[in-house]
Amino acid sequence: MKAAVLTTPAPISQSPLKIEDIPTPEPKPGHVLLKVLACGVCRTDLHIVEGELPPRNPRIIPGHQIVGEVIAGDFDALTDRVGRTLVGRTLLSDNHVRTEPALSDKPTGRSRMGVHARPERASARESLTTRVGVTSFAGTDGTCPYCRRNQENLCDFPTFTGYSVNGGYAEYALARADFCFRIPAQLDDLHAAPLLCAGIIGFRALRIAGVEEGDRVGLFGFGASAHLAIKVLQSWSCDVYVSTRGESHRKLAESLGANWVGTEKEKPPVGLDRAITFAPSGDVVIAALSSLRKGGVVAINAIHLDRVPQFDYDKLLWGERQIRSVTNMNRTDARDFLELAAEINLKSKVTSFPLDKANEALQSVKSDSIDGAAVIVP
């Protein structure tokens, strides 16, 4: 199979990914072999390729937003599926729990959030193929204290797609079956791929921030994740305030109905209940913190931060304001988000690249030269 392989991390301008012909992986117990249909491109991929995250393998295939068709392997282990019966459904926050009655595969009219439940009968394509999504979270050990506390996203010994195990910048990929998620029929391959990291981790950031219906929420940075989060927030009747440096990103936020849009140096005109930062910049965290009302929360949605600048505690943090970090996602986040995405017809803005242009796709992410998300189509 063809794959984009990283052997030596380097600036993306040096095209460190090399297209190679390598053996197609063999299925093993508890895993499935996927024909990759699309793979989203994430800023974390850039951190890996450029060496900001220390290498875990001498050779690695990046990519952790995989939409694939199961063609071999342990089908019986595919148990985590969107649309299966749920015992209650948390919509907003891990800290402010609100649940709905359980949903089943059968039509139940309209939910309390005013969206249709998943129809009983799948499309012809879904009945003939098994389309699944793979996220950055490739697996956990299941035995560490955090896994036993139902905090699998904090697992002491996790594996990560495209970092500790090979990912989706390839024609085929191997994935742990119990960490695959059925893609709803309403979502096509190209638009589903960015949902699998940018979408899910943005959704978790909203939960970590404690977003409630009707809140005033700030989004600091407006790339692949934020342009999906705004649609979720609007479905929860929230007012959304966007601060971002790129003019094209500001125009995109305006077109998507943000209540206010400003530059990175401008402050939202109201005190925010919650704020999410998407840029790996400590200065952005301070800007978000300075925009909060008393009792507000900033959630930092970044795997890497350049620094935390010194700031005035009395002015910015006192008043029971809080700063929280977002660490990975869990399988509940993935199931809940993909179901919600199908219900509200959430579609990312995408630019597609062929596999042999993987370096160019990452360069577009680094330079912010595209709006929305980049997606590689093998």
Tokens of 22: 């390598």
Cα–Cα separations (whole angstroms), residue 226 to 54, 217, 221, 341: 26, 11, 7, 14
pLDDT-derived band of residue 110, with 50, 70 and 90 as boundaries? very low
User: Has this prediction a pTM greater than 0.85?
Assistant: no
- Whether 76 shows a pLDDT value over 80: the answer reads no
pLDDT at 143: 94
Mean pLDDT of 80-92: 34
CB 32 within 8 A of CB 78: yes
Cα–Cα dist 201/44, whole Å: 12
Would you tell me how many other CB atoms lie within 10 Å of the CB of residue 156?
Answer: 11
Mean pLDDT of 31-38: 97
Phi then psi dihedrals of residue 103, to 5 deg: -100, 145
pLDDT at 148: 95
Inter-axis angle of helices 226-235 and 247-255, to 10 degrees? 20
- Whether 75 shows a pLDDT value over 70: the answer reads yes
- Whether 35 shows a pLDDT value over 90: the answer reads yes
Residue-wise pLDDT for 121-142, tens only, equals 333 333 335 899 999 999 999 9
pLDDT at 304: 77
Cα–Cα dist 378/338, whole Å: 23
pLDDT-derived band of residue 114, with 50, 70 and 90 as boundaries? very low
Residue-wise pLDDT for 270-302, tens only, equals 999 999 999 888 899 999 999 999 999 999 998
Three-class DSSP category at 47:
helix
260 or 109, higher pLDDT? 260
Tokens of 3: 């794959």
Give the closest residue to 198 by CA, choosing from 54, 303, 127: 303
Mean pLDDT of 352-371: 93
- Whether 88 shows a pLDDT value over 60: the answer reads no
Q: For all residues of the chain together, what is the average pLDDT? A: 86
Cα–Cα dist 289/320, whole Å: 12
Mean pLDDT of 139-165: 95
